[in-house]
Homo-oligomer: A and B are copies of this chain.
């Protein structure tokens, strides 16, 4: 399959500098090594199949298949001839036919808002590592718009051969769950929880408590929150849960949690900057801000600086995630093991694929990393 049998692009697709020049405008005929004997076969322009190899080697296709799969029950001499034929023809096994026959694709589908959220990219990193170690590759479905989201859930698994699905930072709706169920593929959620699916989640409420608790311990009493608008672009409800933890921490400390101190906006730096700005015009401005993500925290810092405030002198700021940026910016933050969560997700999914009994839920630990902004 997928042999662009003879494209008009050979000029650009023939990276075999040591090829006989007289064929230069012919269809690509990969690895025509030993042209001395290459005239034995007509050199079909289509990609060679095991049948071609079998013919060339003078054996049956079964034997070729066995050689291909390192079966021990092939006599050395035949094995040798098969290998020679393979090299001669430049044979590569067709992955699709292989998959159809074996029922395996060694590919995992991943649905996530990778690029709008550095944290989900970092999770992807752990995922990629965990999967590739086990011989799987991942098929990426980025989700930035509602259309993409819909397409991802209904199309990914039904249009592509994947053995399982990982969904990052998105809590599937009931309809999406139904779509997933139709795919009949094991599915694992990362950075989201659902009672019907294995997942690796973060205790965001606790995280919110930790963050605001840290601020309280520093002596702050007027503490604002900057997070995601509700409903978020999608239901990244982590921000909502962190806000809940924030309020709880304030309540426990007997502090006020005025609604004017809760500023919700978009995910990125710019929007965070804008929604944070009015905080500093308040008659009683906050002395500290907990931002639901590091990216938003940076926005808050920018807003503060524009308002002539110094951080942490005039305003303390704590973020969430501990992405690379946090270290660079000297941002105090609540660290969650992003990369590790990807790995855990991979483990959970592979266990499910292999039918191994595994925990359905994994909760990742959180710690406050104190830097220069508090």
Which A residues have a C-beta under 8 Å from some C-beta of B?
A: 1-4, 7-9, 11-17, 28, 30-31, 47, 90, 92-97, 99-100, 102-107, 114-115, 121, 125, 128-129, 132, 137-142, 148, 156-163, 172, 174, 177-178, 180-187, 194, 196-198, 269, 298, 324-325, 328-329, 352-353, 355, 357, 360
Nearest opposing residue in chain B for A182, CB measure: B30
Question: A7 contacts B186, CB within 8 Å?
Answer: yes
Known contacts A186-B4, A269-B328; decide if A31 and B128 are in contact (CB<8 Å). Answer: no
Contact of A16 among B94, B105, B160, B181 (CB under 8 A): B181
Question: A137 contacts B137, CB within 8 Å?
Answer: no
A-B interface, 4 closest residue pairs, ranked by CB to CB distance from nearest:
A15-B177, A15-B196, A1-B103, A30-B182
Contact of A196 among B12, B30, B138 (CB under 8 A): B12
Question: B128 contacts A115, CB within 8 Å?
Answer: yes
Question: B100 contacts A1, CB within 8 Å?
Answer: yes
Question: B355 contacts A7, CB within 8 Å?
Answer: yes
Question: B139 contacts A182, CB within 8 Å?
Answer: no
Question: A184 contacts B92, CB within 8 Å?
Answer: yes
C-alpha gap A210/B64 in the complex (Å) = 57
Nearest opposing residue in chain B for A172, CB measure: B15
Residue numbers in B under 8 Å from A107 (CB-CB): 139, 160
Question: B139 contacts A15, CB within 8 Å?
Answer: no
Question: B160 contacts A106, CB within 8 Å?
Answer: yes
Question: A99 contacts B1, CB within 8 Å?
Answer: yes
Residue numbers in B under 8 Å from A96 (CB-CB): 96, 99-100, 105, 161
Contact of A137 among B115, B160, B174, B194 (CB under 8 A): B160
Known contacts A181-B31, A352-B12; decide if A103 and B3 are in contact (CB<8 Å). Answer: yes
Known contacts A17-B196, A197-B15; decide if A2 and B142 are in contact (CB<8 Å). Answer: no
C-alpha gap A180/B30 in the complex (Å) = 9
Known contacts A16-B177, A17-B196, A161-B2; decide if A183 and B92 are in contact (CB<8 Å). Answer: yes
Question: B140 contacts A128, CB within 8 Å?
Answer: yes
Residue numbers in B under 8 Å from A114 (CB-CB): 125, 128
C-alpha gap A157/B96 in the complex (Å) = 11
